[in-house]
A and B are shown apart, each in its own frame.
Chain A
């Protein structure tokens, strides 16, 4: 009997007993100036019988001899999600959709859906014939176009994963022959078509991007103060195949946590005498260095910035309450206070979690300071890092191979002589087993000790470099130490539990929080969870004015922010991050492709995804039902006609 459910209408009850709604992490359709990548599902959805291929034999059996009748929704462990297998599966023409299982138990030791030279066409080595292939494991699946829906699930989606597993068990018990069988429907129709210019013109796409964050405690920083700038940077998210699946634990969060911990340690130390310490968190770096290239090109043009139309009121192209300029739309012009000529040092935190070497930390955990060239300043920088840290852990890679994909390239592209170090836990191409992968999640064994130790070295080195006559490790305050407990807490919060007390303190919300480090689209005033937390946290660390308590920003003075219930003012700002090839019309807010040779990634618009599980009967049974219905109807007509005739003849009734 149907369970009691007062309040639910009959139809709703019926729906709930027929369909199980599943959580979906779809692969979306993305477009650039020349074409499309990613997935598409037919309008109004497509369904298929749930079919599991847990082993090589099952997979080969399906490809060699696909079950007749109906299309299938394949549950594919991620190790089979490789180009060759996908091609062979497509050839069977019996696959209507794929559900990739990102299960910890079935994960391959190395996997990357990115290309072997990620982001290389947008970096400082673009156009060179022999670029270092940093990701030889990359299978390039991200860059392919699929005409079927591909969704992901993992055991962390408890109910979805277990429902699908039960469906596979039930279907396979009958050898995929005994009806009724479980079927799923995918509906993730993508409105986009052709390429980014067409799609943007039609209004069916939005740029991939978000907001980068820059922050400094030197709120009086100016172009003319001639003080050196020590920049510490990291990327905030990674590029993934599926939309809402990845955390980017190693690729992004390890660096973000490291940089937050550095900022926290430096906020407790006395301000260094000469230099400015600048923290930058770049958004959407995986998409042609969208965050860092836009930030740096704006900073470089900062000296000559002219405002065509001063801001007077909120417009579609500049939908803010207060802004510094309406055309081009600028929220603030504080980035123009950063003098690019004063940029003295770049310290970038890449992946630093040491995922392949789980704790405890030992001498085999080395870090590498990658540089464009092993020039004297760069070598000296690596030495400074070593001398400032507690343990000599930082090495310069043994072979000269240039910089790995990193935000620093966006700056060095125009100023290759700036002293720099890109700190990572890998040395050579291929050392990183997962690159921009959806597997970069909570199951990646990472060491907070590793993050803490490199953060400590970086914080101390940065302070020393900003001190008069510094850089040699002398004079660093003994109190300047990264709080390893904080590193542990932050990693737990940003990877496992975004609703933890620390995050709640800075991003008060009652909404359930999803995964945070996947890519997003650029939308005025809209920030993803990681961005809003990092913004508030950094604002609090670097604020120079602290006033009364507040509940919202409306309680504070103009220009101030309400962070953790206190009115603050400081130099922490958001900066637009979207591909350099895109341009926004300041009047309409509409994006166009300005330069197809630069990054122009946009994402198609789509409606909320429908992903549901249900039972279907066999085609034979359906035809039987139709036959029964037709026979009953035709029989009834015949009988009644006969009865009427008989009655008219013998009974003389009406």
Chain B
């Protein structure tokens, strides 16, 4: 792929999440550390997923099954991360810039979400991006005018942003007792699962499949952003 395409894909996939990271939390050491910690937990989940994938030989090529248990494990680690975070929450708030702000927890969730988003998009897309430095292009089987690297770049970008909103909603869910909490946790799990399966369209040979992928993910992003925003507004008032 020529250099133009390489940079196009690079900016598409990583531009938004990296600018979020740099502009919004880059100046705050505490949040950066939190983001890195979240990224580490996501990596742990990837380790477990890989071990499972390696052990369950019959399901190695059944992507639908792999997607299902990998979503479950990622969500599980989101909870484990939250659990450990909650033990340290008091301390984190006390050393934050504005300990009295009602939005500290949201900003922690936001930073953690960025960590989750960066690391997941980096690991899932960088091989494809690296392979595009040659002259040839893998053409998307579902959108035959577009390269696979570009459609996957769009999907990667949307997934990374989804992780940010999911972390916001999930923190609210974990921290809210009763049905309201469970609804949020369930929403995050369901939309993560839906997003994972929506990406299958991209690599399929269904006509305009890449467009379906992108549209589904976009819809999920809007829905989860609204959900997260709603909770944020509630807390602010």
Contacts and interface: CB of A to CB of B under 8 A. Distances in A.
Interface of A: 1-2, 4, 6, 10-11, 14-15, 17-19, 45, 47, 179-180, 183, 185, 612, 614-617, 619, 621-630, 632-637, 640-641, 643-644, 651-654
Contacts of A630: 11, 15
B24 A4 contact: no
B136 A653 contact: no
A378 to B, nearest CB: 61
Interface stretch (B37-45, B93-101, B174-182, B185-193): B93-101
Contact of A640 (B23, B127, B130): B23
Given A632-B157, A635-B16, A653-B107, 9 more contacts: A1-B204, A10-B127, A14-B138, A622-B1, A626-B8, A628-B8, A630-B11, A632-B12, A633-B18
A626 B7 contact: yes
A483 B13 CA distance: 73
Contacts, number: 142
B50 interface: no
Given A11-B131, A630-B11, A632-B157, A621 B146 contact: yes
A617 B60 contact: no
A461 to B, nearest CB: 61
A633 B11 CA distance: 6
A45, A636, A652, most chain B CB atoms within 10 A? A636
B127 A14 contact: yes
B9 A617 contact: no
Contact of B11 (A179, A623, A629): A629
Contacts of B139: 180, 615, 617
A583 B152 CA distance: 60
A617 B128 CA distance: 16
A617 B146 contact: yes
Contacts of A623: 4, 8
Contacts of A654: 28, 31, 96-98, 101, 103-104, 107
The 6 residue pairs across chains A and B that have the minimum distance between CB atoms:
A614-B136, A633-B15, A629-B11, A625-B8, A636-B16, A626-B8
A428 B55 CA distance: 76
Nearest to A628: B12
18 contacts: A1-B203, A10-B127, A11-B131, A14-B138, A17-B138, A18-B137, A614-B134, A615-B136, A621-B146, A628-B8, A629-B9, A629-B12, A630-B15, A653-B101, A654-B28, A654-B31, A654-B97, A654-B107
Interface of B: 1-2, 4-5, 7-13, 15-20, 23-24, 28, 31, 60-61, 63, 96-98, 101, 103-104, 106-107, 127-128, 130-131, 134-139, 144-147, 150, 153-154, 157, 203-204, 236
Nearest to B7: A626
A20 to B, nearest CB: 9
A15, A622, A634, A641, most chain B CB atoms within 10 A? A622
Nearest to A630: B11
Contact of B137 (A45, A616, A644): A616
A633 B204 CA distance: 28
A612 B4 contact: no
A641 to B, nearest CB: 6
Contacts of A185: 135-136
B117 to A, nearest CB: 12
Contacts of B19: 633, 636-637, 640
A594 B70 CA distance: 72
B15 A15 contact: no
Contacts of B134: 18-19, 614
Contacts of A636: 15-17, 19-20
Contact of A632 (B2, B11, B24, B127): B11
A625 B5 contact: yes
A118 B89 CA distance: 90
A183 B135 contact: yes
A626 B5 contact: yes
Contacts of A4: 60-61
B5, B106, B157, most chain A CB atoms within 10 A? B5
